[in-house]
Amino acid sequence: MKRWASYLFEFCSWVAMLLLLGVAGVLFALLQGQIQSSVIQERPVPGYIVGVLFVFMAIYFAVLIVRAHRQRRLITHVGVRGAIRISPQAVRDFIVRVLEEELGLPDCRVRLKPTSGKEGALAVLVRAPLPLGQNILEVGQHVQETLKARVEERIGIPVEYVEVFTSSISAPGASAVRGAPTKRGSYITHFSEGDFEGDLRD
């Protein structure tokens, strides 16, 4: 099921569930005498049965909502022999292992999100402390290239882009990133407004 169809299905399920709960609430209020209706109050047993049925139907739609939400969180590939579903947590664990074992970067945090480009492609967001003594931009580019290649080779999921956020720079003597190039490349660097205001004050 495509993502937009899943959202539409979930929206319709929410509407149906709320309508059923609303009707059941009004029906129970009539049966309890909070709303005057001689027809309903003269036949309380069928009214309670219908109200309970509405509640169970609302619960059924609630289950469908939870199921649709969980299905969207799975990475699904549909082939000629059926569907293959991969948990995003499994992909995150794989990326963390690549960062730790292949690149020598411990204590990294990884997030995944779908992209608006190629269908089925992912964006990988990495927060990692990088070691002092290596060119940070070169190291970041090496991390991007390595993660994109490993995810596409080992898992088969296309990666649209990898974003690296350096939360801290390790102290001198920390282990270098394995395989990172030492030759400096060309980059375009942008600074956010106000990033260095505190450094310019007396």
Spans of all domains in the chain: 3-72, 87-185
First to last CA, the chain: 59
* C-alpha distances out from residue 190 to 63, 99, 129, 132, 183, Å: 47, 26, 20, 21, 21
Mean local confidence (pLDDT), 10-18: 89
Q: What are phi and psi of 189, to 5 degrees?
A: -105, 135
Return the CATH architecture of domain 87-185.
2-Layer Sandwich (3.30)
pLDDT band at 2 (very low <50, low <70, confident <90, very high): low
Q: What is the pLDDT of residues 114-136, one digit of tens each?
A: 776 666 688 999 998 887 777 88
Whether pLDDT at 105 is above 50: yes
How far from the centroid of its chain's Cα atoms is residue 96's Cα? Answer: 16
Mean local confidence (pLDDT), 89-109: 89
Share of the chain above pLDDT 90, in %: 19
Q: Are the CB atoms for 113 and 123 separated by under 8 Å?
A: yes
Q: Does 3 or 123 have the greater pLDDT score? A: 123
Q: Identify the top-confidence range among 46-60, 86-100, 116-130, 143-157.
A: 143-157
* C-alpha distances out from residue 195 to 106, 121, 128, Å: 27, 32, 20
Mean local confidence (pLDDT), 179-194: 48
The confidence score (pLDDT) of residue 195 equals 42
The confidence score (pLDDT) of residue 28 equals 79
Collect all residues with Cβ–Cβ distance below 8 Å to 166 and sequence separation of at least 6. 128, 129, 130, 136, 140
